[in-house]
Amino acid sequence: MPTTDNSEFAELAFSEVPFADLTEAALARNPDFGGPERGDEIDFRRLKISLGNRPVSWRLRSFFKKAGKILPKNMKLYRDWDVWMIAHAVSVADRGEFATLLSSVVDAVGYEAEFDHAMARTVGLLPEPVMVRNVGGNFEVTANVGLNGSVAAPEGLAETIGEFSLPVAGGAKLGFSSSAEFVGRLTFGIWTPRVVATGICSSKCEWLFNRIDAPLRNSQVMFQTILVPADVDELRFMCRAYALIRSVSFIPIPTRFETNWLEVWTTPVGEL
């Protein structure tokens, strides 16, 4: 009986096989035109969208103490609550070849997080579109962060606030100055000014980044300020990422792909 020589064959991930997705019927992926769940990342035509599975967090007052600020002794908020700042992240990698050859386009990338409603109440979300500005052709978020977790667009960008600067996740920096008692200024880069952030006063939050001219690529960091009971040292929550991807660039209808919901946890970084 003749044998088959398999020496010229190698196993490849389905997404890396040329035109592999064309073997599926147009709507077979999902009756609602959505993409299938792909574990903790989305892998399509060598486009990979993944979420940060080890979020970083800080107790906000530790930043202020490190900057030499004297905190109020009887601040009622801190009797029963603490204010955390959590850094979330989502990434897009274009590994070239088939993704580029077949003109797949990531139109939008989203990220969702959901906490136990008894453990977390969102005070502020960054980025928000009102805080995005164009700096030398690159988009940047600049926001004032208060000791109570509130976030707001700076009233005057000319104000000096960089005398003492602390590095945060994803290239972000939190700057302080002697002229701002209980305000730090958070600055970081953003993919696009077309961003939607929802979840204030909620245990859930979501960001959606919509592509403009430049592709959505590499990593994007998002920051959430959140009220947490004072005796809590660890937060667990669920998160997922999703993406709207056009299989062929000139076809205007994208397909939605989602990761599974992933359980993650974070403990505040030590006293910096």
SS3 sequence of the chain:
CCCCCCCCCCCCCHHHCCCHHHHCCCCCCCCCCEEEECCCEEEECCEEEEECCCCEEEEHHHHHHHCCCCCCCCCCHHHHEEEEEEEEEEEEEECCCHHHHCCCEEEEEEEEEEECCCCCEEEEEECCHHHEEEECCEEEEEEEEECCCCEECCCCCCCCCCCEEEECHHHCEEEECCCCCCEEEEEEECCCCCEEEECCCCCEEEEEEECCCCCCCEEEEEEEEEEEECCCCCEEEEEEEEEEEECCCCCCCCEEEECCCEEEEECCCCCC
pLDDT at 124: 95
Tell me the mean pLDDT in the region 166-186: 78
pLDDT at 166: 75
pLDDT at 87: 95
pLDDT at 182: 66
User: What are the beta bridge partners of residue 84?
Assistant: 59, 226
pLDDT at 20: 46
pLDDT at 77: 82
- Reported as a single tens digit per residue, the pLDDT across 188-243 is 999 999 999 999 999 999 999 999 988 888 999 999 999 999 989 999 999 999 99
pLDDT at 195: 95
Task: Give the distance between the most distant pair of CA atoms in the chain.
Answer: 87
Q: How many CA atoms lie within 13 A of 100 on its CB side?
A: 6
pLDDT greater than 90 at residue 245: no
Band (74; pLDDT cuts 50, 70, 90): confident
pLDDT greater than 50 at residue 19: no
pLDDT at 47: 82
pLDDT greater than 80 at residue 108: yes
Band (146; pLDDT cuts 50, 70, 90): confident
pLDDT at 79: 83
pLDDT at 214: 85
d(CA 43, CA 95): 10
Q: What are phi and psi of 227, to 5 degrees?
A: -85, 130
Band (64; pLDDT cuts 50, 70, 90): confident
pLDDT at 272: 44
Contact 199, 75 (CB under 8 A): no
Tell me the mean pLDDT in the region 69-73: 75
Q: Is the pTM of this model over 0.95?
A: no
pLDDT at 158: 46
pLDDT at 31: 39
Residues 6+ apart with CB under 8 A from 231: none
Return the higher-pLDDT residue of 60 and 204: 204
What is the overall mean pLDDT for the chain? 80
d(CA 260, CA 176): 39
Contact 257, 42 (CB under 8 A): yes
Specify the pairing of strand 255-258 against strand 34-37: parallel
Q: How many CA atoms lie within 13 A of 178 on its CB side?
A: 0
pLDDT at 52: 92
pLDDT at 39: 72
